[in-house]
């Protein structure tokens, strides 16, 4: 194969049979269970990278059922999302994600920088309860329950939340093991068709695990729960901060003065 052909056809690995197709990436009947909870602010601050800033000590634990996604198939996802601000704009930072399908794991990591790992999440309705579970191997690490459609949610508020920016820390190493890409990526959800949204009583239990450390952000108080069904397109992202770019040193005099105080 001529190198010009390589350059013209290269999109993802493997070269002649990529793990995922070229977008756009459209999701239909995407179903969410999102439980927002209050956690330890000190632990939260230690996990959110600058220049993102925390707005409140809150975490959103999400279970997402995706039965119809372009190029990615039928799968389920779970993870922790943290409300943040970036240069005065409200948004969300994805801290960790666990899912059961290889193409969106590969595509999510390589294209956007989603922090995805292989696991076994589920989202289902059990009689009068919406139930989300996350297993890492044979070990249960998260269980969420919510009363099924107890009350209608404010659709305008839900639509506004979908319009907010989302942030990811994309890390790709060089062949020698040093970081080749280390960037803060911003992406948006587009063409959102909100089919419904509901609230209800909820509970969330997290268990410690060495490789799925969701319990490192403990549940101090469940603040709210949301059940959402929507169609949407996952847009590609843009780099808003390059951690490997040369930057101006901080004002040393100002830092010394601050320490003296």
Active-site residue list:
116
User: Long-range contacts: 120-127, Cβ < 8 Å, 24+?
Assistant: 121/63, 121/76, 121/77, 121/78, 122/63, 122/76, 123/31, 123/33, 123/63, 123/64, 123/65, 123/76, 124/65
Separation of alpha carbons 116 and 107, rounded Å: 10
User: Long-range contacts: 121-127, Cβ < 8 Å, 24+?
Assistant: 121/63, 121/76, 121/77, 121/78, 122/63, 122/76, 123/31, 123/33, 123/63, 123/64, 123/65, 123/76, 124/65
Separation of alpha carbons 100 and 69, rounded Å: 14
CA dihedral 114, 188, 233, 73 (to 10 degrees): 10
> How do strand 53-54 and strand 202-206 relate by DSSP bridges?
unpaired
Contact 219, 204 (CB under 8 A): yes
Q: Residue 33: phi, psi to the nearest 5?
A: -120, 115
């Amino acid at each position: 194969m001529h190198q010009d052909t390589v350059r013209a056809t290269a999109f993802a690995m493997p070269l002649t049979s990529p793990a995922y197709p070229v977008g756009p990436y459209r999701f239909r009947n995407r179903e969410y269970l999102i439980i927002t909870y209050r956690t330890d602010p000190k632990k939260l601050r230690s996990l959110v990278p600058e220049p993102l800033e925390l707005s409140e000590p809150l975490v959103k634990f999400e279970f997402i059922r995706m039965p119809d996604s372009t190029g990615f198939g039928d799968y389920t996802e779970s993870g922790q999302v943290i409300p943040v601000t970036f240069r005065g704009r409200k948004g969300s930072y994805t801290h960790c994600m666990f899912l059961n399908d290889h193409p969106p794991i590969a595509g999510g990591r390589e294209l956007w920088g989603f922090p995805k790992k292989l696991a076994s999440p589920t989202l289902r309705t059990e009689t009068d309860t919406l139930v989300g579970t996350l297993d890492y191997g044979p070990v249960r690490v998260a269980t969420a329950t919510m009363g099924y459609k107890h009350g209608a949610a404010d659709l305008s508020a839900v639509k506004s939340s979908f319009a907010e920016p989302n942030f990811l820390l994309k890390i790709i190493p060089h062949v020698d093991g040093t970081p080749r890409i280390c960037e803060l990526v911003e992406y948006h959800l587009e063409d959102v068709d909100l089919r419904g949204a509901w609230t209800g009583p909820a509970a969330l239990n997290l268990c410690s695990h060495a490789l799925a450390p969701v319990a490192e952000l403990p549940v101090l108080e469940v603040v709210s729960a949301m059940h959402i069904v929507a169609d949407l397109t996952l847009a590609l992202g843009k780099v808003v901060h390059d951690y490997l770019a040369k930057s101006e040193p901080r004002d040393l005099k100002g830092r010394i003065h601050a320490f003296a105080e």
